[in-house]
Amino acid sequence: MVASVFDLFKIGVGPSSSHTMGPMTAACRFVETLVEKAMLEQVERVETNLYGSLALTGKGHATDRAVLIGLTGKRPDSLCPDEADEIVSRVRGTGRLLLAGRRDVAFEEARDLRFLQRERLPHHSNGMRFTALGVDGAELESKIYYSTGGGAVIDEEAIARNAPPEGAWDIPYNYRSADELLAIAEREGLTIAEIARANEQAGLSDSEINRRLTAICEAMSACIDRGIGQDGILPGGLKVKRRAPALHRLLMERAERTLQDPLTVLDWVNLWALAVNEENAAGARVVTAPTNGAAGIVPAILRYYQRFTPRASDEGVQVFLLTAGAVGSLFKENASISGAEVGCQGEVGVACSMAAAGLTAALGGTPGQIENAAEIGMEHNLGLTCDPVGGLVQVPCIERNAVGAIKAIEASRLALVGNGDHRVSLDQVIETMRKTGMDMNERYKETSLGGLAVNVVEC
């Protein structure tokens, strides 16, 4: 199945698409089910059990907060971060939760929200179970959900009946591999962006596609600008200081030296990537690209295109995002974009590949050059582990986005000086990434049980 561009780019809140946005969405879906089944008024309390990676790194990823917010009927795409703080403070201060925004029930966090770190549900490491209880603890409803990466959620019933994946829709150009995508481009005389747009037109008008792409671009840009202006220490206890504001001041002070040091351009790219991921770590509004943990790479490269490349245009921005989405779909459907499944190669690696492809397309690259750029972007992120210190999306995640952004530029430049012919295909790299993720020890897949997470002393 080809994933929609708008399934890969979702506006939401930090710090994690799979551990924050996904559980919030799942909790909201559960209470919506209670409303649909006319059970809400019978509910006395709701229990939530978190399993696997959600349990191991959930507190660092604000999964507990996300569940509380979702149970009140809020979704990440419409949630104001300030409103989130108010909801959580009210629940924890009163011991009461306004279920679905309508039913006031008791809530004891130690009893009703459990992190089962030694247990895992069968289909994915990011599993959760919600149970609604009535008078005398009688079970009214219970559902299992999985957060599969990038904010996507699927329930166990859909898995059992082999339902189409979230976002499935009929499209004119269906492709399962990069080779098939390139064959369509050659046969139809279309660019990859045009193929992606034609697929989106199966469900959306052209004006709505343009509106959504503009909204994504504006949200990415706003996140950069907010991050540049926010000094201070990031929450969570690691005492990580925001670096984007100081770097921005330094670059502005040294503006006249830019012509003497052409690599200053890379400092700006670093700045933009850091700004986004510092905002993400603070729980602010970001765009999954394709995840929150890797949310800084695509916006940084998009702004690089707008600010530092000749003949940048609004049309080029749309080409960038559509092409990046088409490439991201290949990873989502043939491997994974979940750090809990395949490590950070599925997040920063995929984001690097998407950004490299998008930039190459916006600069006029051929489909073959775009595929080459995407391949280079992932090839040199293979095996990247997900080992967040303290379970927080801060170390090494924030810096890793800056480095991934620079890799994306390099991948694009290497591809553009070639003619699209290369030895290793994107399909081969995606399959290698999938197998590497399968072979990777669980402690390196968003559990904070290995790597930097255990070798860096928290203080």
Q: What is the mean pLDDT of residues 234-252?
A: 96
**Peptide bond preceding 235: is omega within 30 degrees of 0, i.e. cis?**
no
Token reading at 124: 């994915």
Question: Where does the pLDDT of residue 168 fall: very low under 50, low under 70, confident under 90, or very high at 90 and above?
Answer: low
Q: Which residues pair with 98 in a beta bridge?
A: 104
Can you tell me the mean pLDDT for 393-421? 97
Q: Where are the domains of the chain?
A: 16-161, 178-444
Q: Are domains 16-161 and 178-444 of this chain identical in fold? A: no
Tally of residues, the chain: 459
Distance between CA atoms of residues 347 and 99, nearest Å = 33
Q: How confident is the model at residue 158 (pLDDT cuts 50, 70, 90)?
A: confident
> What would the two tokens of residue 431 be?
């399959």
What's the whole-number average pLDDT of the chain?
Answer: 95
Least confident range from 207-211, 400-404, 452-456: namely: 452-456
Query: What pLDDT score was predicted for residue 113?
Result: 98
8 in Cβ contact with 328 (< 8 Å)? yes
pLDDT at 458 over 70: no
Per-position b or e across 403-418, b if 16+ CB within 10 A of its CB = bbbbbbbbbbebbbee
pLDDT band at 165 (very low <50, low <70, confident <90, very high): low
pLDDT over threshold 80, residue 169: no
pLDDT score of 403? 98
CA-derived radius of gyration, the chain = 22
Residue-level pLDDT at 167 = 52
Q: What is the pLDDT of residue 259?
A: 67
Query: Strand locations in 78-137, DSSP E?
Result: 96-99, 103-106, 113-116, 127-133
Fold of 178-444: 2-methylcitrate dehydratase PrpD (1.10.4100)
CB 401 within 8 A of CB 277: yes
The CATH architecture assigned to 16-161 reads 2-Layer Sandwich (3.30)
Res. 249: pLDDT tops 60: yes
Q: Compute the average pLDDT of residues 333-353.
A: 97
Alpha carbons 291 and 46: distance in angstroms, whole number: 28
What is the percent of the chain where pLDDT is above 90? 91
